[in-house]
Homo-oligomer: A and B are copies of this chain.
Amino acid sequence: MNNLLEENLKYVDDVLKQAETYEHAVRVLNYDLETICPTGGMSEQGKTIAFLANQAFRLKKDEKFIEAAEFLYQQRDSLGEFDRTLAELLHRERQKTKNLTPDEEHRLEQVYNKAYEDWLEAKKVSDYSVFLPSLQAVRDANLREVELREQPLPNVYDNLLDDYERGMRSEKLDEIFTKCLERLTPLLDRITHSKKRIRTDFLHRLVSDEQQREMAEFLLGTIGFDFKRGAFTTTEHPFTDGLARDDARVTTHYYPADFASSMYSIIHEGGHALFEQLQPAENFDHHIQMEKTMGQHESVSRFYEKRIGRSEAFVHLIYPDVKRIFPEAMYDVSERELYEALNVVEPSLIRTEADEFTYTLHIIIRYELEKRIVAGEADLTRLPETWADMYEKYLGVRPSNDREGVLQDVHWASGFGYFPTYALGNMYNAMYYNKMAEDMDIDETVANGDFEKINGWMAEHVFKKADRLAPGEWIRDITGRELTPDDFLDYLENKYTELYEL
């Protein structure tokens, strides 16, 4: 490597280290804000966070830094894989923000902040009209952001989608979701008309917070969460945050009459945390540790939560401990009954509570709607009715108010393009599950509780290059195939045909 290249690399590294120090502080302050900060302190803490985030932003907006970063991008073919990834990442960021003046950025930020507040209020009073003006403003803000980009993609929606799932295009998504609808719709019809009765009464028996905490710790330990390099606590809305190289935190929430909710929420968040904990240390050395897409991350969390966590093998593994920790709730429940109850399929109104089968249908509804919104083809004033009609069409249920309908999710308060990544996660992990199955008997490994083996495979095949490759290349690198929903759909068909005795 020549001297000029090294000099520029060193300069970029120095600036990013400093920016990351600010960003580390921002993450800790945000974590504190969401977990323990009293309401009185929130406003001041919000200001401190904004100040520190701005310091990081300024460092990266500095002319000399930009020049060095662009130099690296021009010379990217002479760089090693990690450094090239970084150069490309910085170039992409720069393309997105180059024409965005600080004033305009501030104005857009205010649109999203107001939209979030309006959404909170609208959901509280279950009145879409409270959110409508902000939703229109958010759409305009999203369009404006795209307009300001260097070389935007021709399809406006694709630009937004690309922010969450690099390289993904709506043309590909249309194809994937069409396939899903073709196979899921008739199968769902057979399931809902099946004679099979699944017992779920015991899932709603009362279990104390203390017992649920013990269960959460047990489950995190079971899947191999490293408590020395992570923490866990409770919040209203569970989340995972990789605060630092050796500090990945998960949160959960306990409902006294729904013990399965916190069990699978903690496995889901634990999956996100494993992805953070088991990524290559080089990611941090080269400042690319945040390059995982939403779809990649959701693929991992859902792999642990759904694919592994709700399998018969896993239920077999944890059954004795579930009985031990929840003796009052589980005294008359067999292993098979627990497995079946955890996999019941039921068309419902709320996405976050949906089973793995109907979940994709919730996503398709949002995807179709947001494409139309971005294209200016949706009548926003009639959105609640359109939403309800689509729920009726795809899931056979109809929301009776806005809160359980169009207002249920926060995402549209900051824009469009996020939702599809949830569904893509299932498709990625179905593909790499099949690849993993070539190397081991997964059910046997899970039933033995050998998560060192499972996680070792994930680290080597799934986690290793996630930050270096766009998801399309990444899944090809893991499986040798292009992204397809087939593996996921086959899995659903097999699993639910057996479960519902179809």
Contacts and interface: CB of A to CB of B under 8 A. Distances in A.
A80 interface: no
A389 to B, nearest CB: 43
Contacts of A52: 21, 25
A41 interface: yes
Contacts of A28: 28-29, 32, 45, 48
A247 interface: yes
Interface stretch (A159-167, A229-237, A456-464, A476-484): A229-237
Given A21-B51, A28-B29, A210-B210, A229 B38 contact: yes
B38 A247 contact: yes
Contacts of A29: 25, 28-29
Copies in the complex: 2
A24 interface: yes
B37 A247 contact: yes
A500 interface: no
A228 interface: yes
Interface stretch (A71-79, A101-109, A238-246, A433-441): A238-246
A233 B246 CA distance: 23
A115 B1 CA distance: 44
Given A29-B25, A29-B28, A44 B231 contact: no
Contacts of A18: 51
Interface in A241-291: 243-247, 249
Nearest to A43: B246
Contact of A229 (B41, B48, B229, B245): B41
A209 to B, nearest CB: 8
A29 B41 CA distance: 15
Interface string A47-79: 110011000000000000000000000000000
A25 B55 CA distance: 13
Contacts of A44: 24, 244-247
A394 interface: no
A39 to B, nearest CB: 5
Contact of A226 (B40, B43, B230, B245): B40
Interface in A196-216: 210
Contacts of A230: 38, 40
A227 interface: yes
Contact of A247 (B41, B227, B229, B244): B41
The 9 closest A-B pairs by CB, nearest first: A41-B247, A40-B246, A40-B229, A44-B244, A24-B48, A38-B231, A40-B228, A21-B51, A41-B244
8 contacts: A21-B52, A25-B25, A25-B52, A31-B32, A35-B36, A38-B227, A38-B246, A45-B247
Given A32-B32, A44-B247, 4 more contacts: A38-B227, A39-B228, A40-B230, A44-B244
Interface of A: 18, 21, 24-25, 28-29, 31-32, 35-41, 43-45, 47-48, 51-52, 210, 226-231, 233, 243-247, 249
